[in-house]
C-alpha cells in the first residue's frame, strides 16, 4: 500500500510539473495572442460544461472508489446510469444553444466552442470506468500517462492554432482532439468492454453514498462555476478575463500540489478508515509537506508576478488584474487547509459534514458576491473568496473531533522559514529594475535561503525528508 501511495503521488506530481511547464508556455502564448475578452469567453463556456458535468454522475463514480468490494452489477449500473444522464444533458445543452448565445451575446465561434465542449464531454465520459479501476488499485501513475498525452495534445494544438490566428476556435479544436486522444490512450492502458445493465439493488447501495457526496460536489459547482457565469454576465467578458487570469495563476500551485495529494488521499483513507491513529499521522505529514511546498511557492509567485508582467512582451495588458491576483493568492493559501479535511470526512463516510461546509460556503458566496460586486466592482468576488477561505479554522476544529492530530506543530516551522525568505526575496526583487536574470537569481537565492533556514535553525533536512519517503 505504501509503495502504491508514493508511486501514485509522485506520478501525479510529475504530471502536474510537466503540465505546469507546458501550461505556462501555452498560457503565455495564448494570453499574448488572445485578448482578455476571448479569454473570458472561454472561461464562461467552460463553466457551462462544468455545470453539465456535475449532473452527469450523481456520485456513482466516487461510490465505486469508496466501496470496499465492487461487483460486475455495480460497474454496469454506474456506466448505464452515467451515460443515460450524459446523453440527456448533451441534448439539453444543444437545445439551449440559442438561449446561451443570446444571453451571453456569444459570436458564432463561441457557439462552435460550446458544441465542441459538448462533444468532448461525451467522449471523455467513456473513460470513467477504466479510470475508476486504476484509482481503486492506487495506480495513478497509469492515469498520469493518459493525462500527460491529453495535456500535450491540448496545449500544443491550442498554441499552434492561436499562432495561425484562429482565435477562440483554437480552444474548440484543441478540446476535441484532447478528448479523442485521451479516450484511445485510456483504453489502451486499462481496457474495459462497455456493458449495459441496471441493478436496482446496486443502484440503491451506490446512491446511499453517492447522492450526499455529489450534493457536496454540486454545491462546489454552484459556488465556483455558476458564480463565474454570473460574473460573466455582470462584469462582461473582459472583466471576467481579468478575474479568470488572476485566479488561474494564483491557484496554480494549489492545482499542482493539493489536487494531486487530495486525489490520492480519498481512496487511501477509505482503505484505512478504521485506524484513526494511522490517519492522524497521515494528516500531520500531509499538513507539513503541503505547507513546506505551498507557503514559499505562493509567496514567491506573489512577489515575482509584477516583474514578470513587466518584462514579458505584450503581457502588460494583464497588469490591471494584479490586485485581484494578490487577493486570490491569500485566499488560495488559507483554503488549502480546508481541502484535505473534506477528503477526510468523505473517506470516513461523514459526507454530511463536508456537505454542511459546502452548503455554507455556497450560500455565503451567492449572498456576498452580488453585494460585494455592486460595492467594489471587480474586487467583489476576490474579497468574498478571501473571507470564505478563513473558515479553514472551523474546518480544522471539526476535523479534530473525528481524528486527533496537531495542526500547529505540523505547520509552524515552514511558515517561519517562509517569513524570513519573503523579506529577502522582496529586497532582492526591488533592488533594481526587473530583468529576467534578476528574477532567475532571486528564485534560486530565495530557495537556497529557505533550505538553509529549515536545515540550520529547525534541523530539517529536506533531502533526507525526500529520501525517507522512498525508504520508510
Per-position b or e across 214-242, b if 16+ CB within 10 A of its CB: bbbbbbbbbbbbbbbbbbbebbebbbbbb
Residue-averaged pLDDT of the chain: 81
pLDDT score for 8: 53
Cell of 80: 448505464
pLDDT score for 470: 42
290-294 mean pLDDT: 89
**What is the tens place of the pLDDT at every residue in 298-347?**
999 999 999 988 888 778 888 999 999 999 999 999 999 998 888 888 77
Q: How confident is the model at residue 472 (pLDDT cuts 50, 70, 90)?
A: very low
Helices (H) then strands (E): counts for the chain: 20, 0
58-62 mean pLDDT: 61
**What is the tens place of the pLDDT at every residue in 416-466?**
999 999 999 999 888 888 888 889 999 999 989 998 888 888 877 666 655
pLDDT at 471 over 50: no
Tell me the pTM.
0.69
96-106 mean pLDDT: 86
Closest CA relative to residue 411, chosen from 362, 454, 356, 375:
454
pLDDT score for 282: 84
66-79 mean pLDDT: 79
62-77 mean pLDDT: 76
402-406 mean pLDDT: 89
**What is the tens place of the pLDDT at every residue in 137-163?**
767 678 778 888 888 898 888 888 888
Q: Give residues with Cβ within 8 angstroms of 318, minimum separation 6.
A: 31, 36, 242, 245, 309
Give the residue extent of every domain in the chain.
251-472
pLDDT score for 469: 47
pLDDT score for 216: 63
Q: Find cell 500517462 and name the residue.
A: 145
Per mean pLDDT, which range of 101-115, 125-139, 223-237, 252-266 is the poorest? 252-266
Q: What is the 3 state secondary structure string of 387-402?
A: HHHCCHHHHHHHHHHH
Measured between alpha carbons, how far is 385 from 364 in angstroms, rounded to an integer? Answer: 10
Provide the H-helix boundaries in 126-199. 128-136, 140-163, 169-189
Q: What is the 3 state secondary structure string of 325-369?
A: HHHHHHHHHHHCCCHHHHHHHHHCCCHHHHHHHHHHHHHHHHHHH
Closest CA relative to residue 326, chosen from 394, 259, 245, 388:
245
Amino acid at each position: 500500500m505504501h509503495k502504491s501511495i508514493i508511486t501514485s503521488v509522485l506520478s501525479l506530481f510529475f504530471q502536474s510539473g510537466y503540465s505546469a511547464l507546458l501550461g505556462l508556455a501555452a498560457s503565455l502564448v495564448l494570453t499574448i495572442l488572445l485578448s482578455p475578452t476571448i479569454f473570458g469567453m472561454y472561461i464562461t463556456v467552460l463553466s457551462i460544461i462544468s455545470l453539465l458535468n456535475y449532473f452527469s454522475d450523481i456520485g456513482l463514480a466516487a461510490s465505486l472508489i469508496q466501496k470496499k468490494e465492487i461487483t460486475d452489477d455495480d460497474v454496469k449500473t454506474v456506466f448505464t446510469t452515467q451515460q443515460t444522464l450524459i446523453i440527456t444533458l448533451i441534448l439539453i445543452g444543444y437545445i439551449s444553444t440559442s438561449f446561451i448565445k443570446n444571453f451571453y451575446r456569444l459570436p458564432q465561434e463561441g457557439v462552435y466552442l460550446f458544441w465542441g465542449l459538448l462533444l468532448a464531454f461525451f467522449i471523455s465520459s467513456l473513460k470513467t470506468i477504466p479510470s475508476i479501476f486504476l484509482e481503486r488499485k492506487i495506480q495513478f501513475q497509469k492515469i498520469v500517462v493518459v493525462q500527460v498525452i491529453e495535456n500535450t495534445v491540448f496545449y500544443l494544438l491550442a498554441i499552434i492554432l492561436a499562432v495561425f490566428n484562429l482565435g477562440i476556435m483554437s480552444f474548440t479544436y484543441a478540446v476535441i482532439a484532447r478528448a479523442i486522444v485521451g479516450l484511445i490512450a485510456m483504453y489502451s492502458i486499462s481496457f474495459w468492454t462497455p456493458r449495459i445493465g441496471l441493478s436496482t439493488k446496486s443502484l440503491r447501495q451506490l446512491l446511499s453514498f453517492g447522492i450526499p457526496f455529489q450534493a457536496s460536489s454540486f454545491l462546489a459547482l454552484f459556488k465556483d462555476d455558476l458564480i463565474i457565469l454570473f460574473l460573466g454576465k455582470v462584469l462582461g467578458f473582459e472583466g471576467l478575463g481579468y478575474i479568470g487570469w488572476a485566479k488561474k495563476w494564483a491557484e496554480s500551485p494549489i492545482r499542482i500540489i493539493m489536487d494531486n495529494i487530495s486525489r490520492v488521499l480519498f481512496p487511501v483513507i477509505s482503505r484505512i478508515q478504521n485506524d484513526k491513529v494511522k490517519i492522524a499521522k497521515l494528516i500531520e505529514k500531509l499538513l507539513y509537506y503541503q505547507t513546506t511546498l505551498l507557503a514559499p511557492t505562493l509567496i514567491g509567485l506573489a512577489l515575482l508576478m509584477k516583474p514578470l508582467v513587466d518584462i514579458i512582451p505584450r503581457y502588460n495588458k494583464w497588469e490591471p488584474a494584479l490586485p485581484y491576483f494578490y487577493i486570490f493568492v491569500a485566499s488560495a493559501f488559507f483554503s488549502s487547509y480546508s481541502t484535505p479535511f473534506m477528503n477526510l470526512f468523505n473517506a470516513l463516510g461523514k459526507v454530511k459534514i463536508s456537505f454542511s461546509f459546502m452548503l455554507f460556503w455556497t450560500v455565503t458566496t451567492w449572498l456576498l458576491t452580488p453585494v460585494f460586486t455592486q460595492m467594489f466592482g471587480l474586487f467583489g468576488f476576490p474579497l468574498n473568496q478571501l473571507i470564505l477561505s478563513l473558515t479553514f479554522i472551523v474546518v480544522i476544529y471539526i476535523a479534530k473531533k473525528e481524528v486527533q492530530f496537531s495542526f500547529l506543530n505540523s505547520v509552524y516551522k515552514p511558515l517561519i522559514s517562509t517569513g524570513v525568505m519573503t523579506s529577502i526575496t522582496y529586497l532582492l526583487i526591488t533592488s533594481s529594475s526587473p530583468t529576467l536574470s534578476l528574477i532567475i537569481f532571486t528564485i534560486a537565492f530565495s530557495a537556497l535561503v529557505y533550505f538553509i533556514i529549515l536545515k540550520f535553525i529547525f534541523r530539517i533536512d529536506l533531502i533526507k525528508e525526500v529520501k525517507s519517503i522512498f525508504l520508510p
